[in-house]
Amino acid sequence: MTALIEVDNLAKTFDVSAPWLNRVIERRPRQFVHAVDGVSFAIERGRTLALVGESGCGKSTVARLLVGLYEPSRGKVAFDGVDTRATLASPNARSLRRRMQMIFQDPYASLNPRWTVRDIVGEPLVEHGLVSDPGQLRAEVGALLSSVGLALADMEKFPHQFSGGQRQRISIARALATEPEFLVCDEPTSALDVSVQAQVLNIMKDLQRERGLTYLFISHNLAVVRHVSDQVGVMYLGRLVELAARSQLFQAPRHPYTRMLLDAIPDIAMTGRARTPVQGEVPNPLNPPSGCAFHPRCPHANARCTTERPELSRYQGIQIACHAVSEGRI
Amino acid sequence: MTAPLLEVRHLKVEFPTRRGTLLALDDVSFDIAPGEILGVVGESGAGKSLTGAAIIGLLEPPGRIGDGEIRLGGERIDNLPHARMREIRGRRIGAIFQDPLTSLNPLVTIGRQLVETIQVHLKTGAEQARRRAIALLQETGIQAAEQRFDQYPHQFSGGMRQRVVIALALAAEPQLIVADEPTTALDVSIQAQIIGLLKRLTKDHGAAVMLITHDMGVIAEACDRVAVMYAGRIAEIGPVADVIHQPAHPYSVGLMGSIPSMAGERERLLQIDGAMPRLNAIPTGCAFNPRCPQAFDRCRVHQPGLQTVRSTQAACWLHAAGHGGPA
């Protein structure tokens, strides 16, 4: 198996300083948020990597960096062995964009309300010159709609005539229009009800099997991640803290943060199970803690954790960034 | 069994429109006992929030109660004048909403908001109210409550704001708390803290809770009984463990099966095809019949009432005696 996506030491810093005049008068320093701070992973062709974490951990920023919606501050992304940043700046950008697409969280905001479904799903086809005449466009859009379980007649309708789940299927059909190899899905089911979520997740799985798609799946819902992923990366304050195969991560989580997240999910199969109370909240990313960013909430933190930042390293078949684990304390 | 604290009987909520009256809640009946946590679960538009709004008397016009009655401690509260209802709301029924930022006044310190609430309902002096407010903040797990007392809502994180909202809801020691999606806007780790807090506080204060959520996990963890709503009606109601592990209504079966679980392996999730009908297109008979894999003739014509099935009650003809359909 070869990796389709290779991400190496990727970072994105946002400048959130006050305006220049305020900085001068109030003597305030420049301020930066390290939204993504040195993330590395690879996704094999036809597999799904899920990134999980709480709000503000940088998982959506990673998604946007991968498809080129943000420029990385540091590090690089290789798609099929080619550096995406250089390619997107070159005349070959179109052919690369055609090969990777994105599905966004909110199907109410990501579809143009004044366009019919045919325009929405057909736009990538026209834009990339994949169809030559209106008849072919119709046929292609029809085929895409039926692959996500929508009817041919839906082509002439507008987004407001559809429910949330149907809209998300339109988004998927649009993303599939250019026959991409790689799909970045940023919380694709978070805005949906559970029964509709099940429909969308099933469609995504079927499409992956049929077309050999590679997914980066961003979610905060661990149960959904467990259902769809092959590999799982857990993020905390812009860094990966644990990266492991799905079964390993869910059966034997190693990082204290992963354990905390798993303990925190209510599960319907275990009625009445007492959850381990989680202490504290995610710290302010403007002013992250020294050393390991998780140490103020971690039950296993010691002096080293407060000063020295652990790097993500291989340990017993998984990748983990934790002093307590690498020292064998837990 | 003690007398129920809240009794809802044949509640109908309707919205008059130019094209006729839409029935958003139809014949909803349930009880909540003192100290009990009743979960109300369902998909968007099932009517769960509307049920909560009807109980606290905050239905948005033109929505109105068309029929039925709501009793709190034996007293009818659905037809009270606004002024009287305002006294009950906050004093006897507390409310917690989904978004803690919109439930708090951004221009007023949280301390003043609490003191005001306490003084309005409990008629205490300023100093006493302040002490009680600080005690409430401490009780909801806010550290350094004395210092945070004079801070504004924007200085609190989402989880901390929700604690303040819970403190506000508990300020006047209400008998009933209506919590509408109290943890939906929060991260999982914070969600666990808030649910734990809600459970502990209601137990300590002996308050009953109506917990409205779309998250079955939260229901499983927090509630004693659960009502599953579909298209404005209760599809099934019963003890949490029974509804989750042995759902009697086909909709509950589909709903439970469509939730990705943390235990066991499943290649595909069970899915209920289609979507919930809109209010202006509710099918005749059982509202679920077009999506139901077990529907038979009777379901398409007659609307089922709640039938007792084992320990739960389900509105489904499959469980009626001599139903004449497929077993």
Model pLDDT for residues B148-187, shown as the tens digit of each residue: 999 999 888 888 898 899 999 988 889 999 999 988 878 8
Residues of A in contact with B196 (CB under 8 A): 275, 277
pLDDT above 70: residue B324: no
Phi/psi for A263 (5° steps) reads -70, -25
Contact at 8 Å (CB) between B312 and B224?
A: no
Could you tell me the pTM of the whole model? Answer: 0.84
Contact B196 A220 (CB under 8 A): no
Q: Please give the Cα distance from B32 to B311 (Å, whole number).
A: 16
Phi/psi for B264 (5° steps) reads 75, 165
Residues of A in contact with B198 (CB under 8 A): none
Count of domains forming chain B: 2
Superfamily of structural domain A3-326:
P-loop containing nucleotide triphosphate hydrolases (3.40.50.300)
Tell me the pLDDT tens digit for each residue of B235-245. Answer: 999 999 999 99
Tell me the pLDDT tens digit for each residue of B82-131. Answer: 899 988 998 999 999 888 878 899 999 999 999 999 998 988 899 999 99
Which residue among B194, B223, B252 closes a domain? Answer: B223
What residues does B210 pair with on adjacent strands?
Answer: B38, B178
pLDDT above 70: residue B190: yes
Quote the pLDDT of residue B37: 94
Alpha-carbon separation of residue B54 from A98, B8, B67, B68, B237 (angstroms): 51, 10, 12, 11, 19
A 183-222 near B (Cβ less than 8 A) = 193-199, 201-202, 205, 220-222
What residue type is assigned to position B264 of the chain?
G
pLDDT above 80: residue B265: no
Contact B269 A198 (CB under 8 A): yes
Let me know how many helices (H) and strands (E) chain A has, helices first: 13, 12
Q: Please give the Cα distance from B177 to B95 (Å, whole number).
A: 6
**Would strands B37-41 and B225-230 be described as parallel, antiparallel, or unpaired?**
parallel
How many other CB atoms sit within 10 Å of the CB of residue A152?
A: 13
Q: Within this chain, do residues B191 and B304 fall inside the same structural domain, yes or no? A: no
Q: Within this chain, do residues B47 and B120 fall inside the same structural domain, yes or no? A: yes
What residue type is assigned to position A312 of the chain?
L
Q: Is B85 a member of any domain? A: yes
Q: Please give the Cα distance from A23 to A28 (Å, whole number).
A: 5
Q: Is B251 a member of any domain? A: yes
Residues of A in contact with B183 (CB under 8 A): none
Indicate left, alpha or beta for B253 from its phi (over 0: left) and psi (-120 to 50: alpha): alpha
Q: Is the peptide bond before B250 cis (omega within 30 degrees of 0)?
A: no
What residues does B307 pair with on adjacent strands?
Answer: B314
Quote the pLDDT of residue B200: 86
pLDDT above 90: residue B191: no
Q: Within this chain, do residues B150 and B264 fall inside the same structural domain, yes or no? A: no
pLDDT above 80: residue B261: no
pLDDT range class, residue B188, cuts 50, 70, 90: confident
Domain boundaries of chain A, sorted by first residue: 3-326
Q: Within this chain, do residues B33 and B173 fall inside the same structural domain, yes or no? A: yes
| pLDDT values of chain A reduced to their tens digit, one per residue, 330 residues | 578 999 999 999 999 888 999 899 998 888 899 999 999 999 999 999 999 988 888 999 999 999 999 999 999 999 999 999 899 888 888 889 999 999 998 888 899 999 999 999 999 999 999 988 999 999 999 999 998 888 888 999 999 988 888 899 999 999 999 999 999 999 998 888 888 888 889 999 999 999 999 999 999 888 899 999 999 999 999 999 999 999 999 999 999 999 988 888 776 665 455 556 667 778 888 888 999 999 998 989 999 999 999 999 998 889 999 999 988 888
pLDDT range class, residue B205, cuts 50, 70, 90: confident
Q: Please give the Cα distance from B68 to B81 (Å, whole number).
A: 17
B 248-267 near A (Cβ less than 8 A) = 254-264, 266-267
Which residue does chain A place closest to B255, by CA atoms?
A195
Q: Please give the Cα distance from A194 to B42 (Å, whole number).
A: 9
Contact B268 A224 (CB under 8 A): no
Q: Within this chain, do residues B75 and B151 fall inside the same structural domain, yes or no? A: yes
Query: How far does A93 lie from chain B, in Å, by closest CA?
Result: 36
Q: Within this chain, do residues B63 and B196 fall inside the same structural domain, yes or no? A: yes
**Would strands B6-17 and B20-32 be described as parallel, antiparallel, or unpaired?**
antiparallel
| More confident of the two residues B323 and A242 | A242
**pLDDT averaged over every residue in chain B:** 89
B 153-192 near A (Cβ less than 8 A) = 157, 159-160, 187-192
Quote the pLDDT of residue B327: 45
